[in-house]
Amino acid sequence: AQSVTQLDSQVPVFEEAPVELRCNYSSSVSVYLFWYVQYPNQGLQLLLKYLSGSTLVKGINGFEAEFNKSQTSFHLRKPSVHISDTAEYFCAVSLFSGGYQKVTFGTGTKLQVIP
């Protein structure tokens, strides 16, 4: 079975400061990794994904994430946040099982950007 842990439920950060949102996963097989963003009263949008290849993945809106197999982590980073980045961020792992892509989501991290 796969699982995802997002230890920080809320992360406050000042505007233009860097931020890191942490994600750790567990799985007995290789998985695909994703970050989704959810703005208030909206659905989730794909931010970035890691399937294979380079462990540093760049996504939309200046975000990037690094896959670390030895630490089973996939932390999300941005060097300088903006007010518009205020949202909830979900880490997810996916593997192909039982004929479909089984996706497990973390519980989410609310990023609050302070002016």
Partner 1 sequence: NAGVTQTPKFQVLKTGQSMTLQCAQDMNHNSMYWYRQDPGMGLRLIYYSASEGTTDKGEVPNGYNVSRLNKREFSLRLESAAPSQTSVYFCASSRGGAENNYGYTFGSGTRLTVV
Residues near partner 1, by CB under 8 A: 9, 32, 34, 36, 41-46, 49, 51, 90, 94, 96, 98-101, 103, 105-108
> Residue 53 or 98: which CB sits closer to partner 1?
98
Residue 70 CB, shortest distance to partner 1, in Å, is 23
> Residue 80 or 101: which CB sits closer to partner 1?
101
Helix (H) or strand (E) holding 47: strand 44-50
CA distances from 98 to 30, 33, 94, 101 (A): 15, 19, 12, 8
